[in-house]
Amino acid sequence: MIDILRKSLELFRLIPRSDLLARVTPTHPTPDQIVPGEMTIVRDGVDKWACFHCPGGCGETIKLSLSKNRRPKWTAMSDWLRRPTISPSVRQTNECRCHFWIRQGRIDWCKDSGPGSG
């Protein structure tokens, strides 16, 4: 029901189209469970990981630690429409070299990367 509502709001341009949707699970996903357009948040009492495909197109799976005891660490939350927000930004140091924020399910590219940064 939430997905239908979100898609309707996006269709009528009442909210921006989401690049990512959040799915919460108590166990770490297998590689085939990490699908494009979806962020898996591993939560078993506490937030542990956020896993998703790199939006830069390199094909790498990004796994961000959400543990308060690890460094570096990120925070992840999702709204009632399943749109995730991650803080701070994500910077890929591999050949992809992309740098972005995830806010309310949208990929916000930093000026130093992303489409057209060539």
The string of pLDDT tens digits covering residues 3-59 is: 999 999 999 999 999 999 999 999 999 999 999 999 999 999 999 999 999 999 888
Q: Is residue 1 part of a domain?
A: no
- 100-108: long-range contacts, CB 8 A cutoff, minimum separation 24: 100/55, 100/56, 102/19, 102/20, 102/39, 104/16, 104/18, 104/79, 105/18, 105/19, 105/20, 105/21, 105/22, 105/81, 106/16, 106/18, 106/19, 106/20, 107/19, 107/20, 107/55
Q: Is residue 49 part of a domain?
A: yes
Q: Is residue 36 part of a domain?
A: yes
Q: 76 is in which domain, residue-wise?
A: 19-109
Q: Is residue 14 part of a domain?
A: no
Residue-averaged pLDDT of the chain: 93
Task: State the residue for tokens 């790498």.
Answer: 60
Q: Is residue 8 part of a domain?
A: no
Domains: count for the chain: 1
Q: Is residue 7 part of a domain?
A: no
